[in-house]
């Protein structure tokens, strides 16, 4: 079941086509990665979802019905551009923004107390925002984004300004939100975060979706039947032990081992590779090379731009 869908969304700014019939489907309770190079149209789509701007064509569906302005109460949005008032105190501003999201003052104070303690920023309650580091400000904006417990969370480059420790804390919290049934749209350039967090992705380039689906399924699609092998050092060539259709892409040795990357022909299996090698060498490890999301991103965007 999809919590959110965008169908054939088009948006034009003067002579610039920002989105060209873009469609995505976000499964309920999942983390959905919205990927693409700078200027691809990601932020435009996120602003349309939040009704900050309106699409020229297409429709947005939330829980199977056309998205309305009132549905945005069930959406939490953390934009890439930060928007805290620098001269206000952290506590005063957090309380104000929490009430704007529909919470009573009493409930807002209760929830803020919990989150400030969890994020270890209680000591900053009476300090001005301008006194906080970029990472600290990001913590405050994150908790304000989730304070009203929305059904859909949208994060645009949420790790900007975070050191590794706080980035790890934020990732843990994103997983915690997912475990509670929250659906998350996550936009980032960090492909390592995509590998770690996302269940499904859509890759936008030149205003169009060029790749969409489950992360594991996409990685399987991009596999090239390549393997990495480690074996003992022996006299002769690894290539000489293999059928001519098996390509040795790279080969190196250290004091104890020979390591190589091999390309098997379509339909060939790892068992066939081992059958050719085991009578002659000791195989210590054999692993299939699975393309990373970074490799897939570069390959897909480059191919479309040709």
Q: Which secondary structure element, helix H or strand E, spans residue 12, and what is its range?
A: strand 2-13
Nearest by Cα to 101 from 82, 125, 76: 76
Please state the rounded mean pLDDT for residues 57-80. Answer: 92
CA proximity to 8, closest of 20, 17, 18, 16: 20
* 224: pLDDT strictly greater than 70: yes
236 pLDDT band, cuts 50/70/90, is: confident
Which residues lie below 8 Å from residue 306, measured CB to CB, with a gap of 6+?
A: none
Instruction: Give the max Cα distance, the chain.
Output: 77
Q: Residue 261 pLDDT > 80, yes or no?
A: yes
| Residue 256, pLDDT score | 84
pTM of the model: 0.89
The residue among 83 and 279 whose pLDDT is bigger is: 279
Domains of the chain (ranges, CATH numbers)? 2-220 (3.40.50.300), 224-289 (3.30.70)
Percent of the chain exceeding pLDDT 90 equals: 72
Nearest partner of 26 among 8, 46, 5, judged by Cα: 5
Q: What are phi and psi of 156, to 5 degrees?
A: -110, 105
Q: Is the pLDDT confidence value at 267 over 70?
A: yes
Summarised one tens digit per residue, pLDDT across range 119-155 is 989 999 999 999 988 888 888 999 999 999 999 999 9
pLDDT of residue 133: 84
Give the three-state DSSP class for 156. Answer: strand
Over the chain, what is the mean pLDDT? 92
Looking at the predicted structure, is the pLDDT value of residue 161 above 80? no
Q: Which two tokens stand for residue 54?
A: 């309106």
Cα four-point dihedral sign 71, 75, 80, 85: positive
pLDDT in tens, 3-30: 999 999 999 999 999 999 999 999 999 9
In this predicted structure, the answer to whether residue 306 has a pLDDT above a threshold of 70 is: no
257 dihedral zone (left: phi>0; alpha: psi -120 to 50; beta): beta
In this structure, the number of other CB atoms found within 10 A of the CB of residue 47 comes to 19
Angstrom distance (rounded) from CA 172 to CA 37? 26
For the ranges 72-81, 111-120, 179-188, the lowest mean pLDDT is seen at 72-81
Residues 153, 159, 163: CA angle, nearest 5 degrees: 145
What pLDDT is attached to residue 289? 93
């Amino acid at each position: 079941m999809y919590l959110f869908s965008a169908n054939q969304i088009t948006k034009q700014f003067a002579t610039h086509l920002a989105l060209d019939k873009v469609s995505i489907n976000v499964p309920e309770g999942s983390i959905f990665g919205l990927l693409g190079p700078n200027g691809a149209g990601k932020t435009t789509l996120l602003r349309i979802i939040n009704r900050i701007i309106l699409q020229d064509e297409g429709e947005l569906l939330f829980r199977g019905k056309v998205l309305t302005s009132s549905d945005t109460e069930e959406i939490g949005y953390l934009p890439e551009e930060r928007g805290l008032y620098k001269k206000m105190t952290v506590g005063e501003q957090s309380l104000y923004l929490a009430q704007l999201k529909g919470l009573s003052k009493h409930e807002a104070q209760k929830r803020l107390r919990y989150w400030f303690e969890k994020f270890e920023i209680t000591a900053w309650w009476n300090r001005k925002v301008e006194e906080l580091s970029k990472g600290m400000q990001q913590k405050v904006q994150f908790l304000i984004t989730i304070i009203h417990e929305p059904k859909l969370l949208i994060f645009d480059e949420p790790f900007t300004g975070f050191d590794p420790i706080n980035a790890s804390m934020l990732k843990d919290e994103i997983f915690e939100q997912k475990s509670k049934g929250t659906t998350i749209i996550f936009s980032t350039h960090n492909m390592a975060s995509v590998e770690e967090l996302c269940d499904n992705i859509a890759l936008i380039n030149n205003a169009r979706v060029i790749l969409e689906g489950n992360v594991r399924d996409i990685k399987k699609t991009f596999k090239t039947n390549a393997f990495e092998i480690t074996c003992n050092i022996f006299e002769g060539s690894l290539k000489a032990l293999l059928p001519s259709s098996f390509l040795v892409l790279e080969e190196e040795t250290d004091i104890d081992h020979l390591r190589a990357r091999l390309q098997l022909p379509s339909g060939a299996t790892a068992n066939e590779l081992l059958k050719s090698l085991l009578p002659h060498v000791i195989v210590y490890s054999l692993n299939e090379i699975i393309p990373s999301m970074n490799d897939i991103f570069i390959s897909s965007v480059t191919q479309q731009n040709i």
